[in-house]
Chains A and B, each alone.
Chain A
């Protein structure tokens, strides 16, 4: 595990030395600040629209950070030939991949922490109350969702030739799952035969990222999620993320590097 953590540290260093994260954080703060400065009908206590806008920006930023960070990890190593001195050390390819996964996931976790601290500050300033439990669950579920996405993008980076195509496919897949993944079973009911089987197959195969999107719960101040369900969702994310990383390791193990 020492090797894995060493690679993890390098990935985290890379993320906070690049500008992407800071740009997105500043954009989020600016846009939320501008939206928060608007008053509607002289009522300064309106807060939910601001929470929704802030959370939407956080979600978009997190998807951008996660997917673009991961999509360029392995292609960049190969393109810059840094993979050769790395694999010439006593480190397995699986350790490199797992280190990359862990590094990206932890880096996204740090970014999410910054975003959600800002979100908490906005909420407290407007509502004068802080639902710590709900926000903690929302932030951590968001982080677990990113584990699935990072695993997916890591696998994609070994399959697709260009980081841009991998990133595009991951963005489209993530957005599609978040928007319509939950409803595929309803769509399947309206179909027949092979089409129905196909849609059902997709419905059961895809990682259901929408489970982790609990924005409505915290925007509208619903109570927190029961802990057994929360734990099950976390386990689901780690299993799915693990599956993607395992598939990536199996592909990378056999790949000739020359």
Chain B
């Protein structure tokens, strides 16, 4: 299969604020690829480098060395994001806009033709069940509704690759179920999903392949089934083993 997402020897360094340390390495020599139609889980403890990697993929941060490509295009090119949908971990959007106005704005950025734009907006609002609230300002939305707005804006351009940063964070069980359903539906449509999560049970259910990061380095990568079979434990136990956690 063609690689939708390809990361080669990625290294990201930051200037360190700690005494006696000039730079801090957030990601060190990361290499992985994600194939078309896969649901890929990107795992690791806090501070492992997951968000930094995603920031590089989305162009928020420049890599110190190495490369990352989306659909064969360097991530630093704007066109790389044309077929991309992104849901950030913390979902804040322009509070003075309504959901409909926000989606219309993002649709313009994707150059969705005017004729198609309104139908796309209606479709995603229906998908995330926000039709009734679409004309209210976002500042009046609950956390769950804001998360759904986030999902809607990530799907507005019918993306071939969806990058989700902890999509179920802060959601109630119903909300988490809905997100899982959307991911599975996208997978059935042949789209690629790349997401990070701390909900390992969910990851084990939904993902085809996973990668586990720790302290900026890739520790383990492969299909869920193979890894579970190879290490004779569930994904959570594997995760704890890989990061070197010892129970007291």
Q: Which chain A residues have a beta carbon within 8 Å of chain B's beta carbons?
A: 2-3, 6, 9-10, 13-14, 17-18, 80-82, 84-92, 254, 256-258
Nearest to B153 among chain A residues (CB) is: A85
In the complex, whether B158 has a CB less than 8 A from a CB of chain A is: no
Q: A81-B92, A87-B60, A258-B61 are in contact. Are A6 and B109 (CB under 8 A)?
A: yes
Whether the pair A85, B60 counts as a contact (CB closer than 8 A) is no
Nearest to A9 among chain B residues (CB) is: B105
Chain B residues within 8 Å of A2, by CB: 108, 111
Chain A residues within 8 Å of B61, by CB: 256-258
A-B Cβ contacts below 8 A, count:
74
Residues from 45 to 62 in B contacting A, C-beta threshold 8 Å: 51-52, 55, 58-62
Instruction: Provide the B85-127 mask, 1 if CB < 8 A to any CB of A, else 0.
Output: 0101010111111000100011011110000000000000000
Shortest CB-to-CB span from A108 to chain B, Å, is 18
Shortest CB-to-CB span from A2 to chain B, Å, is 6
Whether the pair B94, A82 counts as a contact (CB closer than 8 A) is yes
Beyond the given pairs A88-B84, A258-B55, 16 more chain A to chain B contacts, judged by CB atoms under 8 angstroms and listed by A's residue number, are A9-B105, A10-B105, A13-B96, A18-B96, A80-B92, A80-B95, A86-B109, A87-B58, A87-B59, A88-B163, A89-B81, A90-B111, A92-B78, A256-B14, A256-B62, A258-B52
In the complex, whether B79 has a CB less than 8 A from a CB of chain A is: yes
A103 to B163 alpha-carbon distance, docked (Å): 30
Whether the pair B88, A13 counts as a contact (CB closer than 8 A) is no
Whether the pair B94, A14 counts as a contact (CB closer than 8 A) is yes
16 interchain pairs, CB-CB under 8 A: A3-B108, A6-B109, A18-B96, A80-B95, A82-B93, A84-B86, A85-B106, A87-B60, A89-B81, A89-B109, A90-B81, A90-B109, A90-B110, A91-B109, A258-B55, A258-B61
Closest 6 CB pairs of A and B: A88-B86, A6-B108, A257-B60, A89-B109, A90-B82, A90-B81
